[in-house]
């Protein structure tokens, strides 16, 4: 059983060589736990410029702690899945970053910010995505995309 | 009071120090080992994502509206499925490297919804024009 599943034995803290440690909402109790981010990915983001780097440093970390919703599992009716313990943190930050200029700007209307975490508690992807028509704090097609709503 | 973060701690300072002042090189591609996904960008503009299916998310440029990149998920599993069902596909995986448009094309051929197919096709065109290949370490 992965650490993200209900009833899993886990530690709040987590460290790994070659990874930075970030704080995020703990899906077990709504408190905080550690998640990881690889140095390779930090290099990739840094190579994308100041705006992307600020988005990671600010928007991603803020969203991991200030969720609107938290989902577990990626739903897929067509194939077997082995990522049903992966997490998606859903947030609506008040500001965003212009990737070209690096400037802080107002957040994008009708969009939510998603941060994805593997069942080994590694942050691997984030992005702005359109919100649902029936709830501005949820991503479009949220009913089809995730297996379980945690919060 | 909501938990806050900022741009002044050691994590942010380290990350921002690594970030180039010059515009990023394009195109660029990255294989995320932990997430088993390929991310590629053909522009330096910001973007938002549009999930096409479980395999592919298309990135739309905020200024141009054009497809400026994408995310391809479940790469190792997908390549294994391809190798099982289409053994000849392995010839495209020379030394663990694969051209991005090949993997987009392979994903597109499994798709049967017209709207999604058109988006796959545009994504493939962007990948073709960018002329990228990516190394999947587990396959090398």
Residue-wise pLDDT for A101-150, tens only, equals 999 999 999 999 999 999 999 999 999 999 999 999 999 999 888 888 99
CA B119 to chain centre: 14
The answer for B74, left when phi > 0, alpha when psi is -120 to 50, beta otherwise, is left
Give the residue-averaged pLDDT of B129-136.
92
pLDDT band at B71; cut points 50, 70, 90: very high
Nearest-Å Rg of the Cα atoms of chain A is: 15
Contact B89, B106 (CB under 8 A): yes
Q: What is the pLDDT of residue A151?
A: 94
Instruction: Give the domain extent around B69.
Output: 25-139
User: How does the average pLDDT of chain B come out, rounded?
Assistant: 89
pLDDT band at B77; cut points 50, 70, 90: confident
Cis check for the bond before B27: say yes or no (omega within 30 of 0): yes
Partners of residue A22 on adjacent β-strands: A35
Q: What is the pLDDT of residue A82?
A: 53
Q: In this complex, which of B34, B41, B45 lies closest to A118 when CB atoms are compared?
A: B34
Phi, psi of B44, deg, nearest 5? -100, 5
Q: Which two tokens stand for residue B8?
A: 């002044």
Contact status of A61 with chain B (Cβ, < 8 Å): yes
d(CA A95, CA A51): 12
Is the pLDDT assigned to residue A78 strictly greater than 70?
no
Contacts of B47 in chain A (CB under 8 A): 99, 127-128
The overall pTM is greater than 0.90: yes
Q: What is the pLDDT of residue B68?
A: 96
Contact status of A57 with chain B (Cβ, < 8 Å): yes
**Percentage with pLDDT > 70 across chain A:** 94
A105 three-class SS: strand
Which residue shows structure tokens 């990149």?
B69
ipTM of the complex: 0.90
Is the pLDDT assigned to residue B40 strictly greater than 90?
yes
A91 three-class SS: strand
CA distances from A100 to A54, B49, B123, B137 (A): 11, 17, 22, 31
Contact status of B32 with chain A (Cβ, < 8 Å): yes
Is B17 contained in some domain?
A: no
Partners of residue B39 on adjacent β-strands: B30, B71
d(CA B121, CA B86): 21
Domain count, chain B: 1
With residue B31 as reference, give the H or E element that holds it. Answer: strand B28-32
């Amino acid at each position: 059983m992965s650490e993200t599943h209900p009833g899993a034995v886990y530690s709040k803290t987590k460290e790994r060589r070659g990874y930075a440690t970030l704080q995020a909402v703990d899906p077990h109790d709504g408190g905080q736990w550690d998640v990881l981010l690889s140095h390779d990915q930090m290099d990739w983001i840094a190579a994308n410029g100041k705006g992307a780097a600020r988005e990671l440093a600010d928007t991603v970390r803020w969203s991991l702690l200030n969720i609107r919703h938290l989902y577990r599992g990626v739903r897929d009716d067509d194939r077997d899945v082995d990522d049903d313990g992966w997490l998606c943190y859903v947030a609506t930050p008040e500001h965003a970053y212009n990737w070209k200029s690096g400037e802080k700007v107002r957040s994008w209307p009708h969009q939510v910010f998603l941060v994805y975490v593997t069942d080994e508690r590694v942050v691997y992807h984030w992005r702005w995505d359109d919100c649902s028509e029936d709830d501005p704090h949820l991503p479009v097609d949220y009913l089809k995309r995730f297996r379980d709503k945690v919060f | 009071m909501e938990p806050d973060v900022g741009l002044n701690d050691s994590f942010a300072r380290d990350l921002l120090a690594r970030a180039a002042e010059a515009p990023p090189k394009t195109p660029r591609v990255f294989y995320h080992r932990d997430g088993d996904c390929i991310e590629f960008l053909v522009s330096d503009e910001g973007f938002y994502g549009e999930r096409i299916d479980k395999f592919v998310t298309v990135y739309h440029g905020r200024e141009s509206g054009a497809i400026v990149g994408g995310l391809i998920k479940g790469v190792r599993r997908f390549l294994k499925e391809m190798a099982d069902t289409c053994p000849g596909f392995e010839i495209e995986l020379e030394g663990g490297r694969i051209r991005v448009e090949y993997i987009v094309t392979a994903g597109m051929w499994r798709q049967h919804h017209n709207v999604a197919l058109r988006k796959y096709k545009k994504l493939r065109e962007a990948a073709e024009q960018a002329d990228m290949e990516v190394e999947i370490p587990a396959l090398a």
